[in-house]
Structure 1
Amino acid sequence: MEKVKAKKHLGQHFLKDESIAKDIADTLNLVGYEDVLEIGPGMGVLTKYMLDKPINTYVIEIDEESVTYLDANYPKLKDRIISKDFLRYDINEVFAGKQFAIIGNFPYNISTQIVFKALEYR
């Protein structure tokens, strides 16, 4: 499948620098949780580094084109791709009662809302 084109109306900006993606993935301390939710994985530049770690990686993506790309290119994510809008999704559907980390290269236009939603869940 071809690369996904960024959609301005979704505020998408795809991470392209592999060393930054690896550095972001390496911020996970892996203490007290086994599950990680990546918000807005796009084409999985960050995701691939998380899949190498001893954790259960889940991704949530609003863009159907990106979901199709992830499904085709990351078989390790089978049944762990959530095709929803994070801001409208009930995190308890997957993580009820569990400790988990949130990671991502967040869209600038909703980063504050993402933080508040995460704090609300906490």
Structure 2
Amino acid sequence: MTIAIGLVCLVGLEHLGIMVLEMFAKPHQQAKAFSLSEEYARQPEARVAMANQGIYNGMLGLLLISTLWFFSGAVRFQVWSLLLLFVIVVAGYGGLTVGKKVWVLQMLPAVLAEGAVLAAWLG
């Protein structure tokens, strides 16, 4: 159970960190973090798109962590499992379209957390 909680919180914190990068970082930091050209990252449309994506990542991170206080028992595990499955699917697509780095940095932690959640829930 402790491993599951730790991994879920780690995934949640990771998505809060991604939110900070997408919403508040300078264009050169965003370009470096997301393998973009700095010219692209400076475009107003790109900045708005990244900020929009950032709010999704932030809310996902917040949901993963706040589940500790809002739910208990089997419901907590079901919510975690659903949210982590969402991360896995989105990171899978991101790995195909953006780069394989997404599989390692986002999908792998979510898969590990999902495995720990399922083991704690079903075990």
Give the TM-score of the pair, scaled to structure 1: 0.26
Which structure dedicates a bigger proportion of its chain to strand?
A: 1
Higher relative contact order (CA 8 A, sep 6+): 2
Which structure dedicates a bigger proportion of its chain to helix?
A: 2
Give the TM-score of the pair, scaled to structure 2: 0.26
